[in-house]
């Protein structure tokens, strides 16, 4: 390539000042070149400095962050040294920005039209009132909103997440900037919406010849959308180059692990649990089969949940969250319940756990109907069936030590004395590969993945047969996610556990599940073995979901 | 890392620079940390904590052992010949209109102010926690009923209500009655703060997790919800102690507080107002004592609030 880069970043360092004046580095000696019209993706886990880099380019660093060294060259001008007035001119007109969260980046008290008009005016795209309005409608129409004229008067809460992100992309591209920085533009959205938004973004930027810097944690997504990849780890670039080249031939050990772990790219079940269960696991399954007289751990028949949504003072409209759902899970196997937000998958989990009452239908655990259980029966059931929830930051009480947290189920069910419980806590910490030294610590001292391990240890404390995993790995970084999945898999083969794995992420499903139930709008639209669903999806909706897995279309050389 | 790279080149950072074997390795500080411990460490770094702490300690000491600070009896040895007299040896602040030692009266009045403050706070905290916790946690009609009861009390300005109560009980005025009069109308603010906090905490995932484990409702409230909701209550409590002290002084000043036979800052201020121009010291010194005490508690409340507020901490 002989072209000169549009944007050249040389030795950029960014730090955050903490109390006492010390500066904690967030980005160290970063170099990158962005060619005109090119899409470049910066990939990294949380805390890798990828977003900080993006914010540093337009000098929108939050709080105490500042550029501590290096140059950001755009048209011979160093943005790192530019004054606030100069930057204001550059933002919007030369460099557009699409923020991460479409929910919080539109001001809820102003109409969408007003906010678009504001951008138009601020960037000097039009001056008279009519022109501004005309241009704003144009921006919204280009953003893919039908009926843009009447939508101008609506407020952000009347828009769906995807529509809001379209508006934000429209605002970012309104002034025809030469560079668009998109900071995780779709990570808050459902996969199918994500795909539509990224297609839209690609189309628009290609039309206008805009260069894009795409910030993402998803290697598959980055590979699919960008020509150039920059992989960041702990504030530094570990590897950069053409996307396919890096995917096919990763050089740095970190990149290698990342490529290996990316669920969208790899495609095998870790190890099928039912076939490779250890001797102890087999014994546990056989014993449970014998004692309950059935090999079915969970059977759900015609389960329905209807919520009454208040619409007026005395009126309410029924909303069917779960509609006539039936499935069953064989002991010692994993079934994944997959769906987008609002599909009713979490409601099914909550009903299974007895946190909600079904409107109709029945749930049988080990052949026993849950609805007929009394208070004591329910408590006994909870001993056999334990949950792990999504948010590792919210699911542990911040004021209780790790020991107290893990030992709580033992205490509630009156298992053992104090010393025995402590011993069991240590045993559980070993099982989830956490050092015993953290027993007296508090959740705030642990990372997300470690907290999720604690949550798993708590779930296993009572030696349950069934574990309900509600988006249990969705909030974790890719490598940590891979670790947790492996842990879950090991535990399953060791103890013959039955998993119900609830997730929106089909890519993860392939790694852990034996069976898949795809849910859409409260109904199960397809249920089959994982292999079948991925190889021969029968329903259009399933196909759409599969196509939306980022990286699914990336072809390896192998 | 001096190597520059050109676009389209495949750049790889030197391997040895960072080890990737330790992804998500457990790294814990030497010090155990959680909300309360962090707050405690944070407080000890603030000079305001020491200033208000020492003042509160001093006031408490004076209230408990007044004779350590003055040997002069506050109301027995008064001589009208000293009426509104200037400072004299052994009587550093001078005399009141009745010829009593001002310093001694301030010292002996401390326990009244502090007792009223403490009794009111104990009352509002018990009532507030009871109503707030039950209303917030059990919700539905229980919340509706309890919150309306709170609203009724909240809608009556508590000074006004206390004036009425004290007038009705004019024959039985003592420290306990005046505390009751103030406390009975002051608890709704504690209850409201706690209720709001409990509504927030009870939707946490860890509460759901506890339910799914099989923990009983009451135990969830006591073990999981309450400890996570108490921080703002402590702040409100510290500040309301100051408010109660002011309320007592106000009531006594208005003549519906404690009878004049009680040693009280409010009473002294009230009695001194008629001679403000000729003998300001009789009014000014008790006022200063009142201000310092109230200020100490308010400052302490603010220190605790800042230390407990994670948002506040994040910006530092």
CB contact under 8 Å between B212 and A353, yes or no, is: yes
Distance between CA atoms of residues A224 and A555, nearest Å: 9
- Boundary residue ending a domain (A207, A229, A261): A261
Q: Which of A233, A253, A447 minimises the CB distance to B24?
A: A447
Q: State yes or no: pLDDT of B6 exceeds 50.
A: no
Whether B164 maps to a domain, the answer reads yes
User: Which candidate, A337, A431, A331, A328, places its Cα nearest to that of A384?
Assistant: A331
Residues facing residue B95 across a β-bridge: B101
Number of domains composing chain A: 2
Whether B25 maps to a domain, the answer reads no
pLDDT band (50, 70, 90) for residue B20: low
- Boundary residue ending a domain (A232, A261, A290): A261
Q: Which of 189-208 (B) contact A at CB < 8 A?
A: 204-206, 208
- Boundary residue ending a domain (A214, A233, A261): A261
Query: Which residue range(s) make up the domain with B230?
Result: 35-62+69-314
C-beta pairs of A343-348 under 8 Å, 24+ apart in sequence: A343/A519, A343/A520, A343/A521, A343/A522, A344/A305, A344/A519, A344/A521, A344/A522, A345/A502, A345/A504, A345/A519, A346/A470, A346/A471, A346/A502, A347/A305, A347/A321, A347/A322, A348/A300, A348/A303, A348/A322, A348/A502, A348/A519
Q: Best of B1, B26, B227 to disrupt the A interface by mutation (most A CBs within 10 Å)? A: B26
Q: State yes or no: pLDDT of B55 exceeds 90.
A: yes
Q: Quick check: A545 and A518 in contact, CB under 8 A?
A: yes
Intervals of chain A under pLDDT 50:
1, 272-274, 557-558
Q: State yes or no: pLDDT of B42 exceeds 70.
A: yes
pLDDT of residue B25: 67
Q: Best of A237, A385, A408, A479 to disrupt the B interface by mutation (most B CBs within 10 Å)? A: A408
**What average pLDDT score do residues B129-141 get?**
87
User: Which candidate, A457, A461, A53, places its Cα nearest to that of A236?
Assistant: A53
**Could you give the 3-state DSSP secondary structure of residue A517?**
strand
Distance between CA atoms of residues B238 and B38, nearest Å: 19
Whether A296 maps to a domain, the answer reads no
Q: Quick check: B84 and B259 in contact, CB under 8 A?
A: no
Closest Cα in chain A, distance from residue B228 (Å) = 7
Q: Which of B5, B15, B228 minimises the CB distance to A399?
A: B228
Whether A443 maps to a domain, the answer reads yes
Q: Which of 38-97 (B) contact A at CB < 8 A?
A: none
CB contact under 8 Å between A238 and B13, yes or no, is: yes
Distance between CA atoms of residues B137 and A376, nearest Å: 23
Please report, to the nearest 10 degrees, the dihedral formed by the alpha carbons of residues A22, A28, A29, A35 taken in order. Answer: -130
Whether A289 maps to a domain, the answer reads no
Q: Does residue B316 sit at the A interface (CB-CB below 8 Å)?
A: yes
Q: Does residue B25 sit at the A interface (CB-CB below 8 Å)?
A: no
Whether B194 maps to a domain, the answer reads yes
Q: Quick check: A270 and A291 in contact, CB under 8 A?
A: no
Number of domains composing chain B: 1
**Could you give the 3-state DSSP secondary structure of residue B213?**
helix
Distance between CA atoms of residues B78 and B95, nearest Å: 9
pLDDT in tens, B188-227: 888 988 999 898 888 888 888 888 888 888 888 888 888 8
**What average pLDDT score do residues B242-260 get?**
85
Whether A212 maps to a domain, the answer reads yes
Q: Does residue B311 sit at the A interface (CB-CB below 8 Å)?
A: no
Q: Which of 392-451 (A) contact B at CB < 8 A?
A: 394-401, 408-409, 412-413, 434-435, 437-438, 440-442, 444-447, 449-450
Are A257 and A335 in the same domain?
no
Q: Which residues of A touch B32 (CB under 8 A)?
A: 440-442, 445
Q: Does residue A239 sit at the B interface (CB-CB below 8 Å)?
A: yes
* CATH (domain of A175): 3.40.50.300
pLDDT band (50, 70, 90) for residue B315: very low
Whether A317 maps to a domain, the answer reads no
pLDDT in tens, A16-56: 887 667 788 888 888 888 888 889 999 988 778 888 888 88
Whether B176 maps to a domain, the answer reads yes
Whether B14 maps to a domain, the answer reads no
Q: Which residues of B touch A452 (CB under 8 A)?
A: none
Q: Best of A399, A401, A412 to disrupt the B interface by mutation (most B CBs within 10 Å)? A: A399
CB contact under 8 Å between B205 and A479, yes or no, is: no
Whether A235 maps to a domain, the answer reads yes
pLDDT of residue A257: 84
Tokens 């539509």 map to which residue?
A196
What is the pTM (predicted TM-score) of this model? 0.77
Q: Which of A34, A246, A479 minimises the CB distance to B23?
A: A479
CB contact under 8 Å between A238 and B12, yes or no, is: yes
Whether A298 maps to a domain, the answer reads no
Q: Which of 30-49 (A) contact B at CB < 8 A?
A: 31, 33-35
Size of interface A-B (CB pairs under 8 A): 147
Are A176 and A28 in the same domain?
yes
Q: Which residues of B touch A394 (CB under 8 A)?
A: 204-206
Question: What's the DSSP call for residue A5?
Answer: P
* CATH (domain of B221): 1.10.3720.10
pLDDT of residue A391: 78
Query: Which residue range(s) make up the domain with A377?
Result: 330-355+372-546
pLDDT of residue A417: 87
Whether B300 maps to a domain, the answer reads yes
Instruction: Record the tokens describing residue A185, joined without a space.
Output: 């533009």
Instruction: Record the tokens describing residue B22, joined without a space.
Output: 């330790």
Whether B11 maps to a domain, the answer reads no
For B121: left if phi > 0, alpha if psi spans -120 to 50, otherwise beta; the answer is: alpha
Q: Quick check: A340 and A191 in contact, CB under 8 A?
A: yes
User: Which candidate, B235, B210, B234, B229, places its Cα nearest to that of B220?
Assistant: B210
**What average pLDDT score do residues B270-297 get?**
85
């Amino acid at each position: 390539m002989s072209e000169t880069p549009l944007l050249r970043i040389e030795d950029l360092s960014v730090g955050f000042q903490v109390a006492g004046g010390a500066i904690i580095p967030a980005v160290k000696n970063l170099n990158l070149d962005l060619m005109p019209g090119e899409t470049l993706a910066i990939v990294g886990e949380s805390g890798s400095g990828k977003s900080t880099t993006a914010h540093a380019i337009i000098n929108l660093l939050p709080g105490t962050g500042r550029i501590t060294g290096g140059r950001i060259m755009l048209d011979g001008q160093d943005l790192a040294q530019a004054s606030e007035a100069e930057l204001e001119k550059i933002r919007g007109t030369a460099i557009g920005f699409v923020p991460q969260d479409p929910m919080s980046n539109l001001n809820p008290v102003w109409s969408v039209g007003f906010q678009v008009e504001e951008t138009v005016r601020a960037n000097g795209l039009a001056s008279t009132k009519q022109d501004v309005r005309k241009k704003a409608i144009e921006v919204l129409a280009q953003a893919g909103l039908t009926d843009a004229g009447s939508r101008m008067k609506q407020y952000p809460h009347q828009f769906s997440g995807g529509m809001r992100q379209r508006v934000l992309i429209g605002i970012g591209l309104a002034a025809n900037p030469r560079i668009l920085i998109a900071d995780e533009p779709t990570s808050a959205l459902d996969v199918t919406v994500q795909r539509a938004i990224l297609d839209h973004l690609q189309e628009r930027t290609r039309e206008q010849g805009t260069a894009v810097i795409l910030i993402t944690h998803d290697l598959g997504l980055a590979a699919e959308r960008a020509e150039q990849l920059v992989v960041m780890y702990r504030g530094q670039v570990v590897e950069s180059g053409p996307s396919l080249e890096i995917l096919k031939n990763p050089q740095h050990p970190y990149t290698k692990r990342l490529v290996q772990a990316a669920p969208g790219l790899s495609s095998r079940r870790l190890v099928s649990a039912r076939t490779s269960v250890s001797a102890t696991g087999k014994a546990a399954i056989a014993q449970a089969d014998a004692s309950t007289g059935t090999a079915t751990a969970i059977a759900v028949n015609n389960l329905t949940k209807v919520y009454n949504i208040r619409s007026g003072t005395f009126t309410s409209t029924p909303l069917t969250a779960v509609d006539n759902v039936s499935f069953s899970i064989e002991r010692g196997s994993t079934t994944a319940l997959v769906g987008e937000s609002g599909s009713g998958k979490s409601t099914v989990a909550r009903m299974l756990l007895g946190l909600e009452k079904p409107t109709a239908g029945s749930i049988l655990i080990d052949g026993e109907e849950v609805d007929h259980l009394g208070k004591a029966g329910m408590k006994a059931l909870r001993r056999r069936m334990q949950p792990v929830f999504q948010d590792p930051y919210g699911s542990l009480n911040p004021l209780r030590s790790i020991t107290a947290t893990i030992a709580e189920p033992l205490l509630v069910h009156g298992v053992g004395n104090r010393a025995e419980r402590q011993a069991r806590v240590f045993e559980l910490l070993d099982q989830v590969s956490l050092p015993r030294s953290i027993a007296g610590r508090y959740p705030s001292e642990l990372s997300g993945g470690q907290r999720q391990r604690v949550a798993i240890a708590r779930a296993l404390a009572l030696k349950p047969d069934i574990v309900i995993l509600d988006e249990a790995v969705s909030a974790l970084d890719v490598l940590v996610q891979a670790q947790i999945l492996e842990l879950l898999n090991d535990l399953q083969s060791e103890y013959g556990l039955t998993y119900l794995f609830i997730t929106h992420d089909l890519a993860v499903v392939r790694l852990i599940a034996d069976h898949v139930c795809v849910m859409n709008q409260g109904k199960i639209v397809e249920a089959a073995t994982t292999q079948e669903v991925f190889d021969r999806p029968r329903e259009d909706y399933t196909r759409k979901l599969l196509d939306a897995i980022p990286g699914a279309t990336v072809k390896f050389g192998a | 890392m001096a190597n520059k790279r050109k676009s389209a080149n495949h750049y790889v950072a030197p391997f040895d620079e960072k080890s990737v074997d330790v992804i998500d390795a457990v790294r814990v500080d030497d010090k155990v940390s959680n909300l309360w411990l962090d707050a405690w460490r944070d407080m000890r770094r603030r000079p305001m904590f020491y200033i208000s702490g020492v003042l509160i300690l001093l006031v408490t000491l004076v209230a408990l052992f007044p004779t350590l600070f003055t040997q002069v009896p506050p109301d027995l040895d008064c001589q009208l010949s000293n009426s509104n007299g200037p400072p004299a040896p052994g009587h550093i602040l001078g005399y009141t209109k009745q010829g009593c030692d001002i310093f001694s009266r301030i010292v002996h009045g401390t326990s009244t102010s502090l007792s009223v403050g403490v009794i009111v706070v104990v009352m509002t905290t018990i009532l507030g926690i009871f109503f707030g916790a039950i209303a917030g946690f059990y919700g539905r009609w229980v919340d509706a009923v309890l919150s309306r009861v709170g609203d009724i009390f909240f809608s009556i300005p508590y000074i006004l209500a206390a004036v009425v109560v004290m007038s009705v009980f004019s024959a039985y005025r003592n420290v306990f009655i005046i505390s009751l009069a103030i406390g009975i109308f002051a608890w709704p603010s504690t209850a409201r703060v706690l209720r709001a906090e409990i509504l927030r905490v009870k939707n946490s995932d860890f509460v759901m997790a506890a339910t799914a484990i099989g923990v009983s409702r009451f135990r969830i409230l006591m073990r999981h919800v309450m400890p996570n909701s108490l921080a703002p209550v402590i702040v409100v409590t510290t500040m309301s102690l100051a408010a109660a002290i002011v309320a007592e002084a106000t009531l006594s000043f208005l003549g519906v507080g404690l009878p004049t036979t009680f040693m009280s800052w409010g009473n002294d201020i009230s009695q001194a107002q008629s001679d403000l121009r000729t003998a300001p010291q009789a009014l000014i010194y008790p006022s200063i004592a009142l201000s310092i005490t109230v200020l100490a508690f308010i400052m302490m409340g603010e220190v605790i609030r800042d230390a407990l507020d994670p948002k506040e901490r994040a910006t530092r």
